[in-house]
Structure 1
Amino acid sequence: MNTGHALIRFENVGLRYGAGQEVLRDVNFHLHPGSFHFLTGASGAGKTTLLRMLFMSLRPTRGLVYLFGRNIAKNTTSQRADLRRRIGIVFQDFRLLDHLTTWENVALPLRVMGRKQSDYQDDVTELLRWVGLGDRMHAFPAVLSGGEKQRAAIARAVIAKPELLLADEPTGNVDPQMARRLLRLFIELNRLGTSIIIATHDYQLMSQFPAARMQLESGRLEMHE
């Protein structure tokens, strides 16, 4: 199979926890830069596991995973950290830092990159207003609702315009109108060059944008272009 300049490549990947059955088995696919895919499947099919593997927080028990053209099994700790800076990720549990305000949480990726606050002050504020958090910029995560935390996590994931965005059920706690607004944000980010994988059960959301689908069933992956 000629994968060209694949952004992501899985070769016969399998993963199991402990001595149990494989959660993922014989997974083979490649994605090119600038692609947009929905990742679907029933609860427990392995969607979150696949995203965690792409973020390098899980390693396969067999097979090879290439990310940005590199075999992730051969990366050092510092090399993995460098690759993660090229990835935006939205976790289902949000993972906002409790001691930082909403604005500070969203700005964190830019601060880690060494950018000056004066360079991104307006960008962070504008993005927070766009996702409906203009009046929650100085609030701490403890007082945010689930939907507000989710929107803050999405804003944090996209603020640095990553090369790859991984989103795990990003519209699960928001109303349909906000879900459409967030989808427009993802589409615009993709138009600017970011490759996107959105794990979702939201078929109404998927019907609004003709992206390819990756479907997991019983640990196996099928591609539907």
Structure 2
Amino acid sequence: MRIDTEQGDDALPVVRFEGVSMRYGRGPETLRDISFSLEPGSFHFLTGASGAGKSSLLKLIYLAHRASRGRVELFGRDVSLTHASDLPFLRRRIGVVFQEFRLLEHLSVFDNAALPLRILGRKPATYREDVAELLTWVGLGERMHALPATLSGGEKQRLAIARAVVDRPDVLLADEPTGNVDPAMSLRLLRLFVELNRLGTTVLIATHDEDLVARAARPTLHLEHGRLVDLGGRP
């Protein structure tokens, strides 16, 4: 299935799957014969029932797992042919919001959010105001010095999102990013994703939130029993 966007035909897809299948260990295939591409600057939702394979598909994109067969390309490069030393460079171009948050418990809210910038070698003076503004946007402006252990589930979710988008990645993958927040904050986070997309980031959001999908009115990839279903005219 080819995902159409407004980008020129000469632009390489940032993500391309061709006949991709995946299994864990010796178990049955979790994903089967998946083919699609995401063009630069596109915005899609990934939907499907629990167990359909949404999280597994995201893992293939952010290189947490390898396909059992088929071809996966990131930024025009076949990941199976990419040297191991080059994989961290590809990963750094991808922001990920995990369901389990993966916050560093010994770092403050501010330092967790700023971590991608520190890894890139930027000095705190160059990003302090931007990080503070982002945390205020996601409702954590008054919790910047708190530790993750003192945050609610919804606050941890918002911090994980802030950390994923702080360095404006080329691709943003979000696994149920509004699962622990109320409808008002869900809408606010959607606006953040839309704005990031407007600035050029390709966005793929895995979600059960039908209201979020309806409000965004963006194309949807739908998984059923590990297979990608073309929904035709559905936005």
Q: Which amino acid aligns with 1:9?
A: R
Amino acid of the structure 2 residue aligned with 1:48: S
List per-residue Cα deviations over 1:80-131 (Å, max 9, x = no partner): 1111111110000000011110100000001111111111000000100110
Structure 1: distance between partners of 2:85 and 2:135? 31
Superposed counterparts of 1:1-225, under 5 Å: 4=10, 5-224=12-231
Task: Give SS of 1:129's match.
Answer: helix
Question: Could you tell me the TM-score, scaled by structure 1's length?
Answer: 0.97
The gaps in structure 2 that reach 5 residues or longer are 3-8
Stretches (4+) displaced over 4 A: 1-4
- What is the alpha-carbon distance in structure 2 between the residues aligned to residue 136 and residue 78 of structure 1? 37
TM-score, normalised via structure 2 length: 0.93
- Structure 1 counterpart of 2:33, one-letter code: D
Shift of 1:144: 0.7
The secondary structure found in structure 2 opposite 1:216 is strand
CA–CA distance in 2 between the matches of 1:209 and 1:143?
32
Which residue matches 2:5? none
Cα RMSD over matched residues?
1.3
Equivalent residue of 1:11, what SS?
strand
Residue-pair matches, total: 225
Write out per-residue CA displacement over residues 128-185 of structure 1, whole angstroms, 9 at most, x where no aligned residue: 0110001110111111111000000000000000000000000000000000000000
User: For 1:86 and 1:184, how far apart are their aligned partners in 2?
Assistant: 21
Aligned-partner Cα distance in 2 for 1:159–1:223: 33
Of the structure 1 ranges 110-119 and 1-10, higher mean CA displacement relative to structure 2 is found in 1-10
CA distance in 2: counterparts of 1:63 and 1:171, whole angstroms: 31
